[in-house]
Amino acid sequence: MIVTNALHPRPEQAMAFFAADDGTPMCMVNLLKFREKAAYADGSEPDLTGREAYARYAEGVRACLAAVGGTVRFSGAVTGLLLGEAEELWDMVAIAEYPSRKAMLTMVQSPEYQAITRHRDAGLAGQLNICTRASAGANTVAQGA
């Protein structure tokens, strides 16, 4: 399995993702890897860590999510690996719920969201975004988990 962290989707990835909107709720699992030091494009905040820069983004993104009917479902530090192997672990996992892909697109295009992305870009070395949808009986633990 090849795993490549990235900061932004390729244009064709984004177009295909948002074009596949079926109007149903989804959760986006974010596997986050922070820069050791924040890297703002304008060179500001040279003493800030990547985690601290991302925290500024996270603070603002909650309001952006709420504006489109979404919410943060979970956010926490990665503390270890029980099963499988990875060359390097991510630093944090965050799960955001959206009413639909269209709602997510509306959020990422909003001026409020665009104003905070500088903190995300400065703080992240890369990430994976995994789109998920609840299955029937989602309140029960899946067998084998």
As a whole number, mean pLDDT of residues 39-48 equals: 94
Q: Which domains does the chain have, with CATH numbers?
A: 24-132 (3.30.70.100)
Question: Judging by beta carbons within 10 Å of its beta carbon (0-12, 13-18, 19+), is residue 124 exposed, middle or buried?
Answer: buried
- Per-residue pLDDT of 97-109, as tens digits, reads 999 999 999 999 9
Q: Is 123 helix (H, G, I), strand (E, B) or coil?
A: helix
CA distance 141 to 46: 44
pLDDT at 145: 47
Whole-prediction pTM: 0.88
pLDDT at 1: 77
Band of residue 143 on the pLDDT scale cut at 50, 70, 90: very low
Separation of first and last alpha carbons in the chain: 21
Tokens of 15: 């177009």
DSSP state of 140: S
* Apex 47 CA angle, 92 and 51, nearest 5: 5
Tokens of 1: 């399995």
- Per-residue pLDDT of 49-97, as tens digits, reads 999 999 999 999 999 999 999 999 999 999 999 999 888 999 999 999 9
